[in-house]
Structure 1
Amino acid sequence: MKEERFYAASAVLNDQMCVAGGRVGHNIYLSVELYNPVVNTWTYIPPMKIKRCHHALVSYNGRLYTFGGYDGLNPLNSMVSFDPRKGKWKSLKPMNERRYGFCAVVYNDEIYAIGGRKLRSVKRYNIRTNTWTNVSSLNHVRYGSCACVVNGKIYVIGGGDEELNTTIEAYDGTINEWKIETNMKTPRYDASVVAL
């Protein structure tokens, strides 16, 4: 990449990898980089409106959505969307609560913000109506966890708060319920996961 980053967020946008925000030392970034694997190059796209680390970034229907995180002084609840055709970031409805160190996925055409520092709550964003609603809360606080969607369920892995977690929870949207599915052998924090 062009810049060193940690606590950044990533997503795939139109077959390219996007990395947004993050920090090095006390510097928190606005910048967003896009990796094109065909030509093996990183390029900048327009920066976000607010610098963020510990935030979420998802891609849906050819757009990026980034939300929450930490700006160096405060946790954030704001959300913005990037349309590559227009080359601009647009402000959207903020979350009802500030959160950072959380994970997010797109599930059933909606965006889910899951857990975070001292949080078990889960919020769902409806892209069509630009609204946030509550869904069932996690069984455990999940700070620094990761998530993916497999076989019609959201799986949230690891994280914790006072203690690191080995549990994996699964969310079934048809019954709006989280269940503990299994345990890992090793607790994990600030890990990442992908569905293959």
Structure 2
Amino acid sequence: APGLPGPCGGGQSKGLRRGMYKPYIACVDTQLCEFQSLEADEAHMACYNVSAELWERLPGLQSLTHASCTSAGDTIYVSGGVYRSSYSSAVHEFSSFRSQWCPLPPMAVARAAHGFLCHNQKLYVLGGWRKYHSFLNSTESLDLATGKWTAIARLPFPLSHSASSVFRDKLYLLGGARDITSGWLFHRGILIYTISSDEWTQVPLSTGFLMIKND
């Protein structure tokens, strides 16, 4: 993913021509690994060098679990997560030009296992949880041009661990979990957010499921 940083210091990647960058495929896995001591190690991040056909280490963040990851063009974003039993509100952008993570303005609400999307130069964080039994319905949007966060319409109910996607100026949350009592309470449906009207629509499904995301 070729690119120049935004807040990392200077410009966009569209001025680069082939030969001025190397194509990579990035792998970001911030889910909890039973065999990994995340109190000491970095979250597992790597990139595949297409030309050399080799995996290389991608400089990591601190030891996050259940953070959310999204991308837009040649830019990768990571938000929230859990670090040393503390829930994070941090947001980072990865500069492939400098090979480093650069901080963006933090979210108003610390969260993990949330929906996270980028569309039209804005980041959207949707739901998630702040403690094991504390699910969130709060939502926020970051304007990357101004660096300002804005609250948007809340989810119809608290939701975490859903799959998220963007299509034709609408945001989609598929499945996920609504609560944990004796077990997971799955969401049987799709939530659709219309950006222009700042409204959520619910579309029911016959079954519910939990999405485990490895971006």
Task: Please tell me whether residue 178 in structure 1 is matched to residue 200 in structure 2.
Answer: yes
In 2, the alpha carbon distance for the partners of 1:44 and 1:184 equals 40
2:168 maps to 1:147:
no
Cα distance in 2, alignment partners of residues 146 and 189 from structure 1 = 9
CA–CA separation in structure 2 for the residues paired with 1:22 and 1:178: 28
Q: What's the secondary structure of 2:208's corresponding residue?
A: coil
Quote the Cα distance in structure 2 between the aligned partners of 1:123 and 1:44: 31
> Alpha-carbon deviation of 1:41?
3.3
Find the counterpart in structure 1 of residue 44 from structure 2.
Answer: 31
Letter in 1 for 2:172: Y
Amino acid at match of 1:172: T
Distance in 1, matches of 2:192 and 2:47, equals 31
Q: Corresponding residue for 1:5?
A: none
Quick one: distance in 2 between partners of 1:19 and 1:35?
A: 11
Match for 1:120 among 127, 137, 142?
A: 137
Are residues 1:87 and 2:104 paired? no
The corresponding residue for 1:57 is 69
Size of the aligned set, in residue pairs, is 179
CA distance in 1, matches of 2:139, 2:153: 7
C-alpha distance in 1 between matches for 2:100 and 2:170? 32
Which residue of structure 1 aligns with residue 28 of structure 2? 19
How far is 1:53 from its partner? Answer: 1.2
Superposed CA RMSD in Å reads 2.2
The alignment's TM-score, normalised by the length of structure 1, stands at: 0.82
1:119, 1:76 → 2: CA distance? 14
Instruction: Indicate if the aligned counterparts of 2:124 and 2:141 stay in contact, CA closer than 8 A.
Output: yes
Identify if the C-alpha distance between structure 1 residues 110 and 21 changes in structure 2 by more than 3 Å, giving closer, same or farther.
same
Shift of residue 20, structure 1, vs aligned partner: 3.9
What amino acid does structure 1 have at the position aligned with 2:45?
Answer: V
Q: Structure 1 stretches of 5 or more lacking a match?
A: 1-13
Give deviations 1:104-149, integer Å, cap 9, x for gaps.
1112221101110211111101111222110001112111111101
Question: Does the alignment pair 1:47 with 2:71?
Answer: no
Change (3 A) 1:37 1:178: farther
Asked which structure has the greater RCO (Cα within 8 Å, sep 6+), the reply is: 2
Given that 2:158 and 2:178 are in contact with CA atoms closer than 8 Å, whether structure 1 keeps it comes out as: yes
Q: Larger radius of gyration, structure 1 or 2? A: 2
Q: Which residue of the other structure, out of 69, 77, 96, is the alignment partner of 2:89?
A: 77
Q: 1:47 to 1:192 in 2, by over 3 A?
A: closer
How many percent identity over aligned positions?
Answer: 21
The TM-score, its normalising length taken from structure 2, stands at 0.75
Q: 1:77 to 1:131 in 2, by over 3 A?
A: same
Matched with 1:190 is 211
**Pair 1:169 & 2:191 matched:** yes
Query: Deviations along 1:49-77, whole A, 9 cap, x unmatched?
Result: x2211111122342221110111311110
